[in-house]
Structure 1
Amino acid sequence: MLFKEETIDDLMREILKELCDKPFDIVPTKGACSEIFGAMLELTNPRARLSRTETRGKSFSALGELFWYLSRSNSLEYISYFIHRYKTYSDDGETIYGGYGPRLFNMRGEHNQFETVIKLLKSKPNTRQAVIQLFDAEDLLIEHKDIPCTCTLQFLLRDGKLNMITFMRSNDAYLGLPHDIFCFTMLQEIVARSIGAELGVYKHVVASLHLYEKNQKDANQYLQEGVQSTKFPMPEMPNEDPWDSIHKILKFENDVRNSYDASVENLKMDKYWMDLAYMLKILALSKNKVYDKIEDEKNKISNESYIAFVNKKIDDFNAKFARISKN
């Protein structure tokens, strides 16, 4: 089944409509679900990767998952700072066995797959071999609480544009899909900038695209929110090699996690990356309940596409404060 839309919310609406109408008669390990077998998704504007809705507008956790990948880590402490539910997927209370970071950048302790595909695309622009493997045959030898749902990421450079196609064995349409598309299209744009190419289309192929029955009510609420604005995709990544900025922002993420007073201004990066750093600082302020400084940091963000997510943080705090005062 093909779903082709311009934005992540357009894709999500069409997929969830289909899944909510199907019977919840598939019962894998995590509970009953409805399922689309063999789904092909196409996001024609990969920068329209952030949901604009009230229920699925999760920019902070999506950024966290991306930086977790780029940090090359499978640390539970790292990702649970952004997404608490990961704690249920750890075998040992310290790591996530299926974490993508080591598989992208240090597969089997020796292979930087990300670097390999960049070099390959530079030397052989028409190659069909620029493939990153995430799921591994060894993942089935011993039972784990988390193994990769993603089989491969493939990059194809055509007519000066870098296209990407992801192959998934399984995808949770409500919880997992928005984060996956955000992270993978960001990786697509990072590779594009690393080889000096424009951004092409993004395709996402899933063997089992499913909705768990326990999330059906939330999915219906999402659908009832109606059509969201498509006017604010993420801005273009700067047309330069991105790795110096990525290393700087990864260090800043560690600094601001440990001290919410860490200064964004000292980073001296392009405003594209500075905006993401301000988002990380706003999250740190929120976690430390320093809400009075969030508005000041929000006013330093240059791109309007992020403001709605920060306003939601502020609104959530105001609503919580109102409930506490009332009681």
Structure 2
Amino acid sequence: MYLTADTIDDLLNKVYRRLLRKRGAGDIVPTKGTNTEIYGALLLLKNPRARLSQSERKNTVFSCLGEFLWYLSGSNKLDFIQYYIKSYSEFSDDNETIFGAYGPRLFGSDKAPNQVQNVIETLRASSTSRRAAIQLYHGEDLAQNLEKRRKDLPCTCTLQFTVRDHQLHAMVMMRSNDAFMGLPHDIFAFTMLQELIARSLGVEVGQYKHAVGSLHLYATDIQSVLDYLDEGYQERVLMPHMPAEDPWPTVAKVLEAERMVRQGKQPELDQLPSYWADLARLLQVYRYSRKGARQADREKLADIKAQMTTDVYDLHIAKRQRQAPMPVPSTPLLFDGAALDARQPASADSNKR
């Protein structure tokens, strides 16, 4: 199967419709539950900066950004990523780390090289090189899994980067990909990495190709997919261009800002380029709209939105503003003489994640 689209929403629409047509005939029952599978898929995203879904159902910029920064940090710690995606706890063998975490595999550890830096140096030395590849799924992963059942192995096998006509193209090979939960996150993270490497090389961002062995949709997500499709086609929105400079010194500052926000501290964002400062502000929006946030923090959301230098993220911020938990008043609210239970959500949308 080969599908091509200009934006992530256009691509998801095509993927989901194709998977729904295969229901029944393409069903398998692996360890994680019944799903409909397309075996052997190649997806082409023509504009990798159109990586953010604009739908109500899939505009998951906060979890996508959090997961990407987890990768960039080189961390395998569960508490970091669980702050953004609670379900990661299901994939930890020791309740502290994630065995298949991409960060150490991409950016190195005591036992592994910095593969991202090696790719950059390879393409700097020879822009037409075909050796600029990263391997995330290793042979020893499967061997270790046979000895001790691992809860998480990398779904991504390789990433390859090539420069052609002054553009950096990326091709990612996945052994397995959950089309509803995983695919939007993977495309976000890998196209962001593609743009980081392009900026490191001083070239433009080319096309993004995503090849998958088993592209599947779980039966438990079918209704969510139908709801997504019912929204119709979305506005075509692109993230701004990353600044045309060496990004890595700024990335280190963004990671420090992320750590501070996650710990409830206030980072200094004035020294960050507007592109990166806006992403750090999104982290603040997420912090101040989480369950248990103080009323004083919730009231900061409008101010943060006003500080953004682009309206690209307005839809995502507005959704968090609607979902921000309301404080429970000490006395009942009165409406037309009747007491209302302040603990009830204002609408069915209030508890939606």
Query: What is the TM-score normalised by the length of structure 1?
Result: 0.96
Instruction: Tell me the residue number matched to 1:306.
Output: 313
The alpha carbon displacement at 1:261 in A equals 3.2
The alpha carbon displacement at 1:324 in A equals 6.1
Unaligned ranges ≥5, structure 1? none
Distance 1:201 1:235 in 2: 16
The reply on whether 1:247 has 2:252 as its aligned counterpart is yes
| 1:105 equivalent among 75, 92, 107 | 107
Counterpart amino acid of residue 305 in structure 2: K
Distance 1:152 1:305 in 2: 31
Q: List aligned pairs for 1:138-217, cutoff 5 A.
A: 138-141=140-143, 142=145, 143-217=149-223
Q: Which structure has the highest helix share of the two?
A: 1
The alpha carbon displacement at 1:263 in A equals 3.6
Secondary structure of 1:165's partner? strand
Instruction: Tell me the residue number matched to 1:274.
Output: 277
The reply on whether 1:292 has 2:309 as its aligned counterpart is no
Instruction: Tell me the residue number matched to 2:22.
Output: 22
Secondary structure of 1:325's partner? coil
8 Å CA contact 1:130, 1:154 repeated in 2: yes
The alpha carbon displacement at 1:264 in A equals 2.6
Instruction: Tell me the residue number matched to 1:325.
Output: 342
The alpha carbon displacement at 1:2 in A equals 0.6
The alpha carbon displacement at 1:317 in A equals 2.2
Counterpart amino acid of residue 246 in structure 2: D
Distance 2:261 2:100 in 1: 26
Distance 1:318 1:229 in 2: 28
Counterpart amino acid of residue 91 in structure 1: D
Distance 2:234 2:79 in 1: 34
CA 1:88–1:148 in 2, change beyond 3 Å: closer, same or farther? Answer: same
Instruction: Tell me the residue number matched to 1:262.
Output: 267
Secondary structure of 1:144's partner? coil
Deviation readout 1:132-186 (Å, 9 max, x if unpaired): 0000111112221000000000000001000000000000000000000000000
Counterpart amino acid of residue 64 in structure 1: G
Secondary structure of 2:66's partner? helix
The alpha carbon displacement at 1:319 in A equals 7.8
Distance 1:184 1:193 in 2: 14
Aligned Cα root-mean-square deviation (Å): 1.6
Counterpart amino acid of residue 135 in structure 1: Y
Counterpart amino acid of residue 12 in structure 1: L
8 Å CA contact 1:165, 1:205 repeated in 2: yes
Q: State, as a whole percentage, how many aligned pairs show the same letter.
A: 46
8 Å CA contact 1:260, 1:284 repeated in 2: no
The reply on whether 1:39 has 2:41 as its aligned counterpart is yes
8 Å CA contact 2:289, 2:323 repeated in 1: no
Secondary structure of 2:13's partner? helix
CA 1:224–1:259 in 2, change beyond 3 Å: closer, same or farther? Answer: same
The alpha carbon displacement at 1:256 in A equals 1.3
Distance 1:162 1:214 in 2: 37
* Aligned residue-pair number: 324
Deviation readout 1:288-315 (Å, 9 max, x if unpaired): 3421111101110111111110000001
Distance 1:201 1:242 in 2: 20
Distance 2:141 2:341 in 1: 47
Instruction: Tell me the residue number matched to 1:49.
Output: 51
CA 1:2–1:319 in 2, change beyond 3 Å: closer, same or farther? Answer: farther
The alpha carbon displacement at 1:316 in A equals 1.3
Distance 2:316 2:265 in 1: 19
Distance 1:324 1:32 in 2: 40
| 2:123 equivalent among 121, 124, 128 | 121
The alpha carbon displacement at 1:262 in A equals 3.2
The alpha carbon displacement at 1:326 in A equals 6.2
8 Å CA contact 1:107, 1:113 repeated in 2: no
Instruction: Tell me the residue number matched to 2:2.
Output: 2
8 Å CA contact 1:5, 1:42 repeated in 2: yes
8 Å CA contact 1:260, 1:285 repeated in 2: no
The alpha carbon displacement at 1:107 in A equals 5.8
Distance 2:29 2:59 in 1: 28
Query: What is the TM-score normalised by the length of structure 2?
Result: 0.89
Which structure: larger Rg? 2
